[in-house]
Amino acid sequence: MAIADVKEYTHLTDEEVEQIGRELDALRKEIEESRGASDAEYINRLIKIQRGLAFAGRVTLLLSNKKPAWALGASMLGIAKILENMEIGHNVMHGQWDWMNDPEIHSSNWEWDTAQPAEQWKHSHNYIHHQFTNVLGFDNDIGYGILRMAREQKWHPANLGQPVYNALLATLFQWGVALHDLDIEAIRKREKDPKVMRKQLRQIWRKVRRQVGKDYVFFPALTGPAFAHTAAANALANLTRNLWSYAIIFCGHFPDGALHFTEEEIEDETRAEWYLRQILGAANFTGGPLLHIMSGNLGFQIEHHLFPDLPSNRYAEIGERVRPLCEKYGIPYTTGPLHRQYGQALRTILKLSLPNRFTSSDRRDGPHSPEVPRGRRSDDERPVRRTETGGWTSQATA
């Protein structure tokens, strides 16, 4: 089931939708104009804390043959990796801090501590996912080409293995993300431009070699006889980060309240309708400030999707404005505790491993829509990029 027209679904008039758009534009402007020294201090301090933690973790692991040092070092390193990937890397690459005009904290050259090259992330995430959020056949993040996450996605006997694929994806999350922009299916069907593929593979190989070298060769080698202990601690830190980021990301668009859309929705979609789709297609989760920092403020997924390039430390404040706006116009605003949001995502994974006739839908989107073909759209088949979704310097197709 999916929505073909957000206006119809929300029972709003053209004028009301445009009014919502204007209010959100005004909110964006207000936040943009109030960015200042305290925001800059926030990100600079966070980066300092993260690098300090990473350094302390690595140093502690020089004693990785002692159990307490091993556990402490692995934890510090795991937390450092989570902070780097989520609250720092993901958000910097969105351009949230570009306004500071600081080339060291800038979307154009940030490289993050994970296997995927930043260049490919900015294409697959900032552009494809953020512009075509939850549009069936357009947003490759609906199941990442691995899981069947919408009833409109055609069932295949291979989907029976979903519970296993899901566990593997969670465990090996950074490697799944690393291959995400490649489009394995197009490669398999020999539809992928070999030049682009070679370039992407080269980028991935370079990045992976350095990442693996650091965690599994050089740092372990520094500890000499404790080589295996250090490598294991580093693997644990990477695993922690994988499981955590997987869980957080699955809470963003897979809880029942986050709706899907059909291709008709993005035909002649106005800016205000795009806003509306972002609200309907995303799900928040609740928690304290520490949880929000550790999850890159993605508990404010709705706010992040409305304003992907506004600084993450302001999402809480933006949420306090967005939620009343949604209530005023009767727009559903999906949120709930982390365990419930993830529980719903897991239920969908399990249910959709079976053909539709064996299960009932838990979602409240519109009427049933026809199945969407498998496979991805190429960039040429997509509408022009929105400015919020940022840039990437060397085009994936070039």
Partner 1 sequence: MAVSTIIPWERVRTVGSRLTTPLHPDDYLSLVNPLWSARELRGRVEEVIPETDDAATLVIRPGWGWRYNHSPGQYVGIGVQVEGRFQWRSYSISSPPKRNGRTIAITVRAMPEGLLSSHLVKGLAPGTIVRLASPEGDFVLPDPPPAKILFLVAGSGITPVMAMLRTLDRRGSMPDVVMHYSSPNAERMIFREELDGLSEKHEGLTLHKLHTDTDGMLDFADLDDFCPDWREREVWACGPSGMLDAATEHWKDADLEDQLHLERFSLEVGGEAEGGTVTFQTSGKKAEADGATTILEAGESVGIGMPYGCRMGICHTCTLTLVKGAIKDLRNGEEYNQPNEQVQTCVTAAMGDCTFDI
Residues that bind partner 1 (CB under 8 A): 35-41, 48, 51-52, 55, 58, 98-104, 108, 111-113, 207, 210-211, 213-214, 218-219, 222, 384-387, 389-391, 395
Q: How far is the CB of 33 from partner 1 (least distance, A)?
A: 11
Helix (H) or strand (E) holding 283: none
Distance CA 242, CA 255 (A): 20
Is the CB of 360 or the CB of 387 nearer to partner 1?
387
Q: How far is the CB of 378 from partner 1 (least distance, A)?
A: 15
Is the CB of 215 or the CB of 256 nearer to partner 1?
215
Distance CA 31, CA 45 (A): 21
Q: How far is the CB of 31 from partner 1 (least distance, A)?
A: 13
Which one, of 373, 149, 136, 148, lies nearest residue 256 by Cα?
149
Is the CB of 219 or the CB of 285 nearer to partner 1?
219
Is the CB of 162 or the CB of 389 nearer to partner 1?
389
Helix (H) or strand (E) holding 18: helix 14-34
Q: How far is the CB of 305 from partner 1 (least distance, A)?
A: 18
Is the CB of 287 or the CB of 383 nearer to partner 1?
383
Which one, of 6, 29, 94, 4, lies nearest residue 272 by Cα?
6
Which residues sit opposite 261 in a β-bridge? 3, 135
Q: How far is the CB of 151 from partner 1 (least distance, A)?
A: 33
Sign of the alpha-carbon dihedral angle for 75, 76, 79, 85: negative
Q: How far is the CB of 198 from partner 1 (least distance, A)?
A: 21
Is the CB of 213 or the CB of 337 nearer to partner 1?
213
Is 59 within 8 Å of 43 (Cβ atoms)? no
Helix (H) or strand (E) holding 312: none
